[in-house]
Structure 1
Amino acid sequence: MTAGRYGDIVLLGLSVAGIIWYAVLWSISLLGCWIARRRYRLRPRSPLATATSAPGVSILRPLKGLDTNLYENLESTFQQEYPNFEIIFSVAEENDQALPIVRDLISKYPNVKATVVIGEEIVGVNPKVNNLIRSYRLAANDILWVLDSNVMAHPGTLARSVDALEGPPPPGSSPTLRRVAVVHHVPFAFANESRIGSRIEEAFLNTNHAKMYIAINTVAVDSCVVGKSNLYRRSDLERVNGSLKPVCPGRTNLSSPNHRGLPAFGRFLAEDNMIASALWHELGLRHDLSCDIARNAVGNMSLGDYVWRRVRWIRVRRHMVLTATLLEPFTEAVMLSVIASLSLRYLFAVPPWITLILHYPLWLSVDLDVYASLAGHPLPAAGRWEFLLAWAAREVLALPIYILAMFGDEVIWRGNRYQMLRNGEVRRAVPRPSSWFRRFVLLWKQTEYYEPMNEMPID
């Protein structure tokens, strides 16, 4: 076979594969759009909202400083239409700026059982987990709702979420359907600031991220959970340790009690995703999305803040789900348009400009439809052009940010520097020596520049 003939076969194969991949991604996008229409455009009131009794729920809200929209975010917890819940606020330090707001709300809602826990317990390098440990142990109920401080919830969210967690399986489902272990909510951002990073983050979370998140959880081939707002049972969490090794029904993973439950996840940066993965893989349980959203207040975010936030989570995902992360750039609008235009030109002699003219308006229309489903209304006319420019900037920046993220293992989160390890574990990084000569010598001696985390061996 001549080199030219071999090259033609390779190009033909790549073009066919490109068209198939393009069709698959369009199918996923349309699935996310369709499910968003079905699930989020109608949010029925749960019977638990007016019931006299219901399963008890402990709402855990970790706090640190004055997050954007903090008063309204926390107040939404007090306003839940549910007959049986408590709220436990966690702060690491007694001079935390969030405390006056919490105490004001507790005074404003005297009929709601709410307490404040001050002081963290160090079980790993994840500050959120350290902040939550004492509240986790003091919680009076088995069902826990862990809710980030920058999230505002609709009054009916808790009742509908408990319905999803405790209710019967859907009509017509298989009798072998696994029970639900985690109920989570799609983040939906709202930006009160006009800074470019805030607007790009808002456009990203409310369109492409939401679309893919909904579709992946509908297909449900593996765990995919963002931890802005999660419900799960402490009794389930106490049986897992983050090893992702299946355990026998009715048993726990073979590790000491101190190395199971929430403390076992202090060694991960994305503890929310790892908890969900552990419940999925270790106990064989499933997840469910309720018909509510987690309204995420986006703060004053610069373009650099946005870039490094995306870099952080790509690096985290790379150490948790490598294959999916490697495929990620080929799921983005810009790369897909290039793949489709080249494939169609080779196979059918379609001019690339025709493909591009059709691709972007259709892709955008699906994203805007997802936005309308989650928001409950179309994109407001007042901020339309600003949003569309932010959407375009997000798509253009996706590949450069991805390339930047793939070179490096360090991330910065809440002012702390970490090194990513296998399976999403992290350890704290300390400043490197200032002398280039000392750096070379220490590197040659294979000296670590990282503080070891609290060791939590997993059997």
Structure 2
Amino acid sequence: MIRLVLSSVGLIWYSAIWAIGLVGCSAARKRYRNRPRSPLASAAASSVPGVSILRPLKGLDTNLYENLESTFLQEYPNYEIILSVADENDQALPIARELTSKYPHVKCRIIVGEENVGTNPKVNNLVRPYREAANDILWVIDSNVTVHPGTLARSVDALVGSPTAPAKKRIALVHHVPFAVVTESRIGSRIEEAFLNTNHAKMYIAINTLAVDSCVMGKSNLYRRSDLERVIGSLKPPSPNTPQSGPRGLPAFGRFLAEDNMIGAALWHELGDRHELSCDVANNLVGNMTLMDYIRRRARWIRVRKHMVLAATLVEPFTESVVLSIICASSLNYLLDISPWISIFAHFAVWIYVDLDVYASIAGHPLPAAIRWEFAAPWVARELLALPIFLFAVFGSEVTWRGRAYTVLRNGEVARAEKTLSWFQRLRKPKNYDPLDTSL
């Protein structure tokens, strides 16, 4: 009886995860295979809302010049660009100055110097541009992202909505699904590409299509400063009897490592508003990433999510293809006496077909034949590494980001961590023994 129940539950769970994946695949087809030009692109400047584009910079990210230049080329009549660096010696500063000289007709200024409002260095770098921006609508884009010239116009369309559209929940945030672009063929870079452009995109699009809760990545986000000034990062609806205390707006999120996700959650839960995925992607330039870089990156965000949404994080391994294939094979073998090898082969054949279909949707073209086999090996590696990385990550709380060590605390807040030694380093470290007196 126990095995019958477990097999039945396993098959129901397997079917549910497949249903969510197919929602993501179908939504990707509808949303990304047709990207019309927005009428705002050719409208008069006085007739469209102004937008301030904020780009925090730190160091020489891959293709930094082209990434930043893509914001100077936006087909939108009313926007400004603010590039910010934490200090005068930042290597990104000469590139920022070169671009402002190249495009003198674009409103652009550079802010040097951060304001320390919390542990998150990105938020500290953004606070001054956030406060000094001329417009209420802010578009925050990471420095390793490049975007299509029509992205801003289509994103503003999604944020403000059409006056003739049927009434629905107010949109407080527009975001873009990341699409990995590999510039250096390292194993870690290729695995990151296989992850972001298939399974991650599929589940990210599905969760946002079903809209059961907030799910936001901060590569490229559009929101109103006036909305953010109404939240404090408590992630709960405000109580009329209890006044909200603490900083508001962007400074309230300096205590989080995943400030992008927390901003989305605050707008969702505190204001009761919703998010919208634009039909554009954030082209995430993946540089020289080793295998260990990839493992540390995945582990970092698992450890952050563990402290934010524990139940959802613990369920993650049971949504991955390898564990699901075992659940399916065991269930069908007991219930219908189907060979496990047949079930596993059919599972992976359909799984990779759906993943490649999602890739074609968000890329705008199928996977090129020239890199098909080069893509297949990292895809297999990603699927096989998912469970070991999860098990490694879930039992720790320390992460490294931008060369700094942090300890993840309750609700995804972080504190700077002291440098700790591995067990091997501790074993080799000299002990402070008293010298032995060998004299007779």
Amino acid at match of 2:224: R
For the residues of structure 1 that align with 2:16 and 2:324, how far apart are their CA atoms?
Answer: 11
Question: What is the aligned partner in structure 1 of residue 60 from structure 2?
Answer: 66
TM-superposed CA distance for 1:69, in Å, is: 0.8
Deviation string, structure 1 residues 243-282 (Cα, Å, up to 9, x no partner) = 1121269x996125xx110001000000000000000000
Question: What is the aligned partner in structure 2 of residue 369 from structure 1?
Answer: 357
2:297 corresponds, among 283, 305, 309, to: 309
Distance 1:245 1:49, change over 3 A: same
Question: What is the aligned partner in structure 1 of residue 271 from structure 2?
Answer: 283
Question: What is the aligned partner in structure 2 of residue 168 from structure 1?
Answer: 162
For the residues of structure 1 that align with 2:354 and 2:243, how far apart are their CA atoms?
Answer: 43
Amino acid at match of 1:415: G
For the residues of structure 1 that align with 2:236 and 2:302, how far apart are their CA atoms?
Answer: 24
Instruction: Within 5 Å, give how 1:383-394 maps onto structure 2.
Output: 383-394=371-382
2:419 aligned with 1:425? no
Distance 1:351 1:169, change over 3 A: farther
Amino acid at match of 1:324: A
Secondary structure, counterpart of 1:186 in structure 2: strand
1:96 corresponds, among 87, 90, 94, to: 90
Deviation string, structure 1 residues 140-174 (Cα, Å, up to 9, x no partner) = 00000000000001000000000000013885x5x
Amino acid at match of 1:58: S
2:8 aligned with 1:20? no
Question: What is the aligned partner in structure 2 of residue 447 from structure 1?
Answer: none
For the residues of structure 1 that align with 2:396 and 2:403, how far apart are their CA atoms?
Answer: 18
2:403 aligned with 1:415? yes
For the residues of structure 2 that align with 1:244 and 1:370, how far apart are their CA atoms?
Answer: 32
Question: What is the aligned partner in structure 1 of residue 331 from structure 2?
Answer: 343
2:175 aligned with 1:181? no
Secondary structure, counterpart of 1:244 in structure 2: coil
Question: What is the aligned partner in structure 2 of residue 6 from structure 1?
Answer: none
Distance 1:22 1:115, change over 3 A: same
Secondary structure, counterpart of 1:319 in structure 2: helix
For the residues of structure 2 that align with 1:194 and 1:156, how far apart are their CA atoms?
Answer: 29
2:368 aligned with 1:380? yes
2:320 corresponds, among 332, 351, 358, to: 332
Question: What is the aligned partner in structure 2 of residue 441 from structure 1?
Answer: none
Instruction: Within 5 Å, give how 1:14-413 maps onto structure 2.
Output: 14-53=6-45, 54-168=48-162, 171=165, 173=166, 175=167, 177-247=168-238, 254-256=244-246, 259-413=247-401
Amino acid at match of 1:132: L
Secondary structure, counterpart of 1:391 in structure 2: helix
Secondary structure, counterpart of 1:154 in structure 2: coil
For the residues of structure 1 that align with 2:426 and 2:346, how far apart are their CA atoms?
Answer: 55
| TM-align CA RMSD | 1.7
Amino acid at match of 2:276: D
Deviation string, structure 1 residues 101-144 (Cα, Å, up to 9, x no partner) = 11111111110000000001100000000001111111000000
Q: Structure 2 length normalisation: TM-score?
A: 0.94
User: Does the Cα contact within 8 Å between 1:234 and 1:261 map onto a contact in 2?
Assistant: yes
Question: What is the aligned partner in structure 1 of residue 432 from structure 2?
Answer: none
For the residues of structure 2 that align with 1:179 and 1:229, how far apart are their CA atoms?
Answer: 20
- Amino-acid identity (%): 70
Amino acid at match of 1:99: L
Deviation string, structure 1 residues 56-113 (Cα, Å, up to 9, x no partner) = 0000000000000101100000000001000000100101111111111111111000
Secondary structure, counterpart of 2:179 in structure 1: strand
User: Does the Cα contact within 8 Å between 1:239 and 1:252 map onto a contact in 2?
Assistant: no
For the residues of structure 1 that align with 2:218 and 2:317, how far apart are their CA atoms?
Answer: 23
For the residues of structure 2 that align with 1:386 and 1:364, how far apart are their CA atoms?
Answer: 14
Q: Structure 1 length normalisation: TM-score?
A: 0.90
For the residues of structure 2 that align with 1:95 and 1:195, how far apart are their CA atoms?
Answer: 29
Amino acid at match of 1:49: A
For the residues of structure 2 that align with 1:122 and 1:227, how far apart are their CA atoms?
Answer: 20
Deviation string, structure 1 residues 208-245 (Cα, Å, up to 9, x no partner) = 00000000000011000000000000000001011112
User: Does the Cα contact within 8 Å between 1:239 and 1:253 map onto a contact in 2?
Assistant: no
Secondary structure, counterpart of 2:257 in structure 1: coil
User: Does the Cα contact within 8 Å between 1:240 and 1:253 map onto a contact in 2?
Assistant: no
Secondary structure, counterpart of 2:56 in structure 1: strand
Gaps of 5+ in 2: 430-440
Distance 1:23 1:105, change over 3 A: same
Gaps of 5+ in 1: 1-8, 439-459
Distance 1:405 1:435, change over 3 A: closer
For the residues of structure 2 that align with 1:37 and 1:408, how far apart are their CA atoms?
Answer: 38
Question: What is the aligned partner in structure 1 of residue 433 from structure 2?
Answer: none
Number of paired residues?
Answer: 423
